[in-house]
Structure 1
Amino acid sequence: MADGIQTEENMGRCMSNNYSAQKFWQQWHRSYNRWNIRYIYIPLGGAKYFAYNTWIVFTFVALWHDIQLKLLAWGWLICLFLLPEIIATRVFSQKKVRCFWRSNFECYDFTQWGSWPYYRHLCAVGAVLNILMMMIANLVGFCVGLDGMAEMLKQIFRTASGITFLITTSMCIFVGVQVMFEYEEMENRKRWREKEAELRG
C-alpha cells in the first residue's frame, strides 16, 4: 500500500460466517487461492475437468502445508465433502422445478424449489451437514488424524451422550446458519440499495 499497490482483501468473509464449502474455499486466503486456480486448476482444464482437478489441487495444498498422511487425508476429505453440496445445489436449485406428485409419469406440481415455504430450512439442514463435514476434515488434518477421528465418531454414534451431543450441536449450528442466511440477505439488500442509488444518480 505504501508503494501505491492496491491489494484485495485476503479473507473475503469471516470463516465463522460461511455455511458453503465451495464459497468457503473461494474466500479463504484469496491470494493463495487465485494462485492455485491460475497455475494449477486452469492449466489442468479448469471447470471442464472439475471432478479430477479438485483432487489434484487439494493434494498440492495438503503437501504445501506439510508432507503428512493426515494432511493428505484432509485434502481428500475436503474433495469428498464438496460432492454432496455440488449435487444438492443442482438437484434443489432455487429455480429448479420440483415435482412431488406423479401419476402415470406425469408431474402435477411444477412449482420452483425456491417458492417452497420450507426451502430455507431445507438449505439450512444441508448447511449444517456441510459445516459438520468441514469440521471433520479439519480435525483429521490438523488435530487428531484419521485414527483419532475414527475414535471420536465411534464415541459419538455408539453412546447416548454422543448422540445427545450431535443433536444439540446440530441444532445450535442450524440456528447459527439461519443467522448467516439473514446476514447474507442483509448484504444483498444493501448492494441493491447502492445500485439503485447509483442508477438514480
Structure 2
Amino acid sequence: MTTTPATTTATEPCSLRERKKQQTRSALHDAALTLVSAHGLDGVTVEQICTDADVSPRTFFNYFSSKAHAALGLDTVEVPPAAATWFATAEGRFIDDLCGLVAATVPLSQDRRRMKELLVLRPEMAPMVMQWMAESRQSLLATVGTRTDEQTARTAVALVMSALSEVAHRETVGGPDELAVRLRAVVGEMGALASA
C-alpha cells in the first residue's frame, strides 16, 4: 500500500498564532474575492482589499503574491521539506508516490465553489489559474527529478497536475490523504482511456 507524506496540519492542533494567521488569510481572500467579483481585477487595489480585511497593505504580501492569487485563494506552491524527503526515499510506484507528493504540496482552494463562480463571472481570471498551475508544476520538478530523468519528470508532473485539475472540478476533498487517493483514481482513469 502506498503511503503519503505526513502533514502536521492534519495531525496537530493549531496554535493560537496559526489560527490567527488562518483568519487573516481567510479575511484577505474573502475581501479580494468579493471586490474582484464586483469590480474586476483592474478595478480593485491591494489597499482596498486590505481595508476591507482590516489589515495593513504590508501584511497582504505575507499571505498572497498578487490580487489575483488572493481572489482565487491560491497559495504560492513550494514543496515542503518533509514531503521532498519522503518522495526521494519512497519505494512505492512512481506515479502513486507523485500523487502523494502533489497532494502534500499543492493546496486546493478551500472556497472552490466561489472560485468557480468568480471564473464564470470574470473569465479574464482564467489565465491566472493557468499561470498558477504552471508555477506549481515548475516548483515540483526539482523534487520529482530526484527519482527520474527530466523529461519523465515533466510528463509525470503534467499528468498528475491534470488529474488535480479534474479532481478540483469534480468534488470537495477532505485533506491531503484523501486528495492523494482521488488523484491516483483519476490518473488510473486517464491510463485506462489512453490504453483503450
TM-score, with normalisation over the residues of structure 2?
0.27
Determine which structure has more spread, i.e. the larger CA radius of gyration. Answer: 1
Higher relative contact order (CA 8 A, sep 6+): 2
Please give the TM-score of this superposition, normalised by the length of structure 1.
0.26
